[in-house]
């Protein structure tokens, strides 16, 4: 039997939101582009909150490198498509849920079907592939659907949303031309100064430099990511999704955070703020982190991807 506001699975929600808001969640459809760390955790939270209909897209399979942060990554799921694993987990939470799976990711051919009927679109695509984010954002704008984007960085996470109308589009946020074709956008690398307005002051900036240098060399980029940041991302993003999906039911609820503003929380520093995104914010936080690192106040870290690759090659040659 489909779940209702009287289902015992939702009994503990009351006291923090109303039956009308619960009903809105149950009736909502959310389209999530990306079932990696943030998208997977975020989607499961929505399923537990009551969202009963999803579109989920991801062309990749789970690998051991995902196990440090993604709830769906385990020995039993290695080699399986991430979106299909997400569907199975959602159906285990709610057998009556509807989960449309797109194992080839979101493409120009599938974006209309992916977004059909959605009340909220969530962009958890790879930041190294801006053409996917642009494709999803343009489709959401054309249909009058909010587009939510969240990112994790270290022990912190940030979230914002792009309104269906207004001057602040996903492209403007990323410093891209709104008229640029997708194939040209695919040739651009991510601009961390725009997409990462908050740089944790405790960061070892050598990791950030390694990401920049590998990206600039045209190599695949593996961004450092922690389970702590992913869980925080899913928490603040699901809270923003709640505000989107129940908007207008209670006049006492705040509005979601819209671009160019961005909200971040840092569990390491016990700090949360809403700030304006852009180069000024990025550079200001970067200068603080650089100064702390120069003074020896930041703990040293390793950029594991390059180091592990080197040691694997060495071990292989020795064997």
For residue 22, tell me if it sits in a domain: yes
For residue 257, tell me if it sits in a domain: yes
For residue 238, tell me if it sits in a domain: yes
Is residue 42 within 8 Å of residue 122, measured between CB atoms? Answer: yes
For residue 229, tell me if it sits in a domain: yes
What is the spatial distance between Cα 22 and Cα 28, in angstroms, rounded to a whole number? Answer: 10
What is the spatial distance between Cα 135 and Cα 121, in angstroms, rounded to a whole number? Answer: 12
The residue segments making up the domain with residue 28 are 12-197+225-274
- With a cut of 70, list the residues of the chain below it in pLDDT: 209-222, 303-319
Element (H, E) at 263: strand 261-266
pLDDT score recorded for residue 216: 46
For residue 93, tell me if it sits in a domain: yes
Report CA dihedral (176, 179, 182, 186) to the nearest 10 degrees.
-30
What is the spatial distance between Cα 83 and Cα 138, in angstroms, rounded to a whole number? Answer: 22
For residue 287, tell me if it sits in a domain: no
For the chain, the domain total comes to 1
> Read out DSSP for 74-111?
SGGGBTSBHHHHHHHHHHHH-TT-EEEEETT---TTTH
For residue 202, tell me if it sits in a domain: no
Tell me, what CATH number does 20's domain have? 3.40.50.720
Of 38, 269, 281, 72, nearest to 155 (Cα)? 269
For residue 220, tell me if it sits in a domain: no
């Amino acid at each position: 039997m489909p779940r209702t506001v009287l289902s015992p699975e939702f009994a503990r929600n009351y006291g923090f939101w109303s039956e009308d808001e619960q009903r809105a969640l149950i009736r909502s459809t959310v389209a999530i582009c990306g079932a990696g760390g943030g998208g997977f955790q975020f989607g499961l939270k929505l399923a537990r909150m009551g969202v009963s209909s999803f579109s989920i897209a991801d062309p990749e399979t789970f690998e051991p490198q995902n196990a440090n942060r993604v709830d769906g990554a385990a020995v039993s799921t290695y080699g399986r498509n991430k979106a299909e694993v997400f569907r199975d987990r959602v159906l285990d939470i709610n057998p009556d849920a509807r989960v449309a799976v797109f194992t080839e990711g979101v493409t120009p051919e599938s974006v209309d079907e992916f977004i059909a009927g959605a009340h909220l679109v969530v962009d958890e695509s790879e930041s190294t592939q801006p053409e996917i984010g642009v494709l999803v954002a343009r489709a959401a704008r054309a249909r009058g659907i909010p587009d939510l984007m969240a990112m994790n960085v270290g022990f912190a996470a940030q979230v914002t949303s792009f309104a269906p109308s207004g001057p602040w589009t996903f492209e403007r946020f990323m410093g891209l031309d709104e008229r640029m074709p997708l194939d040209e956008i695919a040739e651009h690398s991510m601009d961390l100064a725009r997409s990462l307005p908050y740089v944790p002051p405790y960061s070892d900036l050598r990791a950030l430099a390694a990401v920049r240098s590998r990206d600039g060399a045209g190599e695949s980029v593996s961004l450092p990511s922690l389970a702590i940041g992913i869980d925080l991302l899913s928490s603040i993003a699901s809270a923003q999704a709640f505000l989107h999906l129940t908007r207008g039911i209670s006049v006492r609820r705040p509005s979601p955070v819209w671009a160019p503003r961005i909200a971040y929380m840092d569990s390491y520093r016990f700090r949360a703020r809403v700030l304006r995104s852009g180069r000024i914010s990025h550079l200001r936080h970067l200068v603080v982190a650089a100064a702390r690192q120069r003074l020896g106040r930041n703990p040293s870290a390793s950029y594991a991807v390059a180091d592990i690759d080197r040691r694997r090659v060495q071990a292989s040659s020795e064997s």
